[in-house]
């Protein structure tokens, strides 16, 4: 059992959590591919040894960059791991360049996320591409590896997931039409980065209308209600799970992103980055109210 660590100040605690996060993605990654395993426990019946996740792998790459930068692991070690991972991804199953949610960690073949969901997952692919592009920007001493990463990113056909009504669809299999209950990507949630990458694609771009007329037109996009003295601009009541406003900004600088959409008659949505700290405040306030009520 790990030794209990106590008495850390805020800075030391943040560092320790960051080290542990990087350690998970380094020490528990798949030994053949370097992909992040879906879980370290056996919930939901997954084969924990072979079920690897594309989105989690993108998160893991960002954590490994931090490990190299902070000197927690040798830079060369992280670069070698990246090269092995890129080789695996180049040969892994893709659907119009879009990776599935789960891959077999040894073979690279698709593993169904659930029955009928064995095609491309645009949101998980966006998280993976975010991590890959972050690694490409960091390891500039390996130009050939950077070129290979950029080729993987350029191969993602974001437009293939665009439905006739303009919505970007979460899942797609080229051999099957979308079912009536297929899931469009609508906000506010963790999938914001999909629209950033899709709009900026040089090979398979998606028009801004998909963002404005589908993602931002969802009933749960604008909020504008007051929660314990804090007005939440975007997202579900009380902010929802924190990852809804944290995942999008792991690999992109949000300070330049804004919207001019009104949330009340005389208040407009602030810079999108403010959604993350505001969501934290509302969730904290809600937790405090529950604690007091249960005391």
Q: Which stretches of 89-194 are assigned E, i.e. beta strand?
A: 102-104, 110-111, 120-121, 171-172
258: which 2 tokens?
């804004």
Q: What is the pLDDT of residue 44?
A: 74
Split at pLDDT 50, 70, 90, the class of 223 is confident
Split at pLDDT 50, 70, 90, the class of 283 is confident
Max Cα–Cα distance, the chain, nearest Å: 60
Question: How many CA atoms are closer than 13 Å to the CA of 205, on its beta-carbon side?
Answer: 8
Segment of 38-52, 146-160, 260-274 carrying the highest mean pLDDT: 146-160
- Is the pLDDT at 291 greater than 80, yes or no? no
Q: Percentage of the chain surpassing pLDDT 90?
A: 64
Burial group, residue 131, by CB count within 10 angstroms (0-12, 13-18, 19+) = buried
Q: What is the pLDDT of residue 204?
A: 98
On whether the CB atoms of residues 206 and 197 are closer than 8 A, the answer is no
- Is the pLDDT at 262 greater than 60, yes or no? no
- Is the pLDDT at 263 greater than 50, yes or no? no
Split at pLDDT 50, 70, 90, the class of 261 is low
**Domains with residue ranges and CATH for the chain:** 14-217 (1.50.10.140), 219-295 (no CATH)
Split at pLDDT 50, 70, 90, the class of 221 is confident
On whether the CB atoms of residues 204 and 126 are closer than 8 A, the answer is no
67: which 2 tokens?
């490990």
Split at pLDDT 50, 70, 90, the class of 36 is very high
Select the more confidently predicted residue: 51 or 114.
51
Q: What is the pLDDT of residue 1?
A: 46
- Is the pLDDT at 268 greater than 70, yes or no? no
Please state, in angstroms and rounded to a whole number, the distance separating the CA atoms of residues 253 and 130. 12
Split at pLDDT 50, 70, 90, the class of 280 is confident
Select the more confidently predicted residue: 41 or 87.
87
């Amino acid at each position: 059992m790990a030794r209990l660590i106590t008495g850390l100040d805020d800075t030391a605690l943040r560092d320790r959590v960051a080290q542990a996060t990087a350690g998970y993605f380094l020490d528990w990654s798949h030994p053949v591919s370097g992909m992040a395993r879906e879980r370290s426990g056996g919930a939901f019946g997954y084969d924990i040894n072979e079920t690897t996740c594309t989105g989690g792998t993108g998160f893991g790459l960002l954590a490994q960059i931090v490990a190299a930068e902070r000197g927690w692991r040798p830079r060369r070690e992280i670069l070698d791991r990246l090269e092995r991972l890129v080789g695996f991804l180049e040969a892994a199953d893709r659907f119009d360049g879009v990776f599935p949610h789960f891959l077999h960690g040894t073979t690279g073949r698709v593993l169904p996320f659930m029955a009928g969901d064995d095609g491309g997952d645009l949101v998980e692919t966006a998280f993976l591409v975010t991590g890959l592009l972050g690694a490409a920007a960091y390891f500039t001493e390996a130009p050939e590896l950077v070129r290979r990463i950029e080729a993987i990113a350029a191969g993602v056909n974001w437009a293939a997931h665009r439905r006739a009504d303009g919505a970007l669809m979460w899942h797609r299999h080229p051999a099957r039409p979308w079912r009536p209950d297929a899931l469009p990507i609508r906000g506010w949630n963790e999938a914001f980065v999909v629209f950033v990458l899709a709009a900026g694609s040089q090979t398979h771009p998606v028009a801004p209308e998909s963002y404005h007329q589908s993602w931002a037109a969802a009933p749960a996009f604008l909020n504008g209600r007051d929660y314990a003295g804090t007005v939440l601009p975007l997202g579900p009541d009380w902010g929802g799970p924190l990852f809804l406003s944290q995942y999008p900004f792991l690999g992109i600088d949000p300070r330049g992103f804004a919207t001019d959409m009104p949330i009340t008659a005389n208040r407009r949505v602030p810079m999108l980055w403010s959604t993350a700290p505001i969501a934290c405040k509302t969730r904290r306030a809600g937790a405090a109210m529950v604690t007091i009520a249960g005391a």
